[in-house]
Each structure stands twice: as structure tokens, then as C-alpha cells.
């Protein structure tokens, strides 16, 4: 899966953006509705969606969590899968990545007042 970043953002580029830019935009809008209930931010703002691959067999969404022991992790993974299936009308698999999350993965320009940056 791709590790390239999207210019002007901290978000990694998705493999699917090359061949399916319109679907990726719809998917990004759908993912904006999937919130981390503890942080109150969506999975795109947090940078949890690391890649999306789309082909004839379906969709693979690579996703990480802010912490490996997130109590809401299973629910967030399932909500993300369901939202992707709803938006794309295709079978979706979540590839749960073990890449550690950090604040630099969040969207640029978010001022949360956490004092962590």
C-alpha cells in the first residue's frame, strides 16, 4: 500500500485516488461521519485511514487506531467498513494496520487546544 502523502496535507495518498478520484471524494465525505467518540474527531481528521484500494473484487481500507487498546476500536472499524460499503455499494474489507498513530497524522490546521504539539 502507498506511503505517499497528499500535497498540502498530512494525509497519505490512497492508491485508489489515481483511478477512482470521484469515489475517493465520496468516501472521504462518508468517513467524515465516523467519529472517535472520545476525541470527537472523525477518522479522516485523525488520519486513521491510511490507504484505500479499489478493484473489481472489492475495496480494502487500511486503517489504524489512535491506540492499540482503544475501547471503541472494534466499533470504529466496523462503522468505517459499513460506511464505505454504503457509499461505494461494494464489499469492503478493513485491513487493520499496526502502524503507531501520532499527532502528526492529523489533518493540518486543527487547533484542538490540547497543548500536545
Range list of H helices, the chain: 21-31, 73-88
pLDDT digits (tens, 9 = 90+) for 2-31: 445 554 456 789 999 999 999 999 999 999
Please identify which residue in the block is written with the cell numbers 497528499.
Answer: 6
pTM of structure:
0.85
CB atoms within 10 A of CB 114: 9
Distance of CA 38 to the CA centre of its chain: 17
pLDDT digits (tens, 9 = 90+) for 82-98: 999 999 999 999 999 99
Task: Tell me the percentage of the chain whose pLDDT exceeds 90.
Answer: 72
Could you give the CA distance from residue 56 to residue 66 in angstroms, rounded to a whole number?
31
Name the residue ranges covered by the structural domains of the chain: 15-98
What does the radius of gyration of the chain's CA atoms come to, in whole angstroms? 14
80-95 exposure pattern, b = at least 16 Cβ within 10 A, e = fewer: bbebbeebbeeebebe
Mean pLDDT of the chain: 88
CATH class of 15-98: alpha beta
Amino acid at each position: 500500500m502507498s506511503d505517499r502523502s497528499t500535497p498540502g496535507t498530512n494525509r497519505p495518498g490512497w492508491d485508489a485516488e489515481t483511478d477512482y478520484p470521484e469515489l475517493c471524494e465520496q468516501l472521504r465525505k462518508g468517513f467524515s461521519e465516523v467519529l472517535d467518540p472520545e476525541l470527537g474527531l472523525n477518522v479522516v481528521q485523525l488520519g486513521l485511514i491510511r490507504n484505500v484500494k479499489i478493484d473489481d473484487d472489492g475495496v480494502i481500507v487500511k486503517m489504524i487506531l489512535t491506540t492499540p487498546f482503544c475501547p471503541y476500536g472494534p466499533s470504529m472499524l466496523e462503522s468505517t467498513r459499513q460506511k464505505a460499503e454504503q457509499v461505494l455499494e461494494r464489499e469492503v474489507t478493513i485491513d487493520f494496520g499496526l502502524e503507531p498513530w501520532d499527532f502528526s497524522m492529523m489533518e493540518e490546521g486543527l487547533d484542538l487546544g490540547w497543548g500536545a504539539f
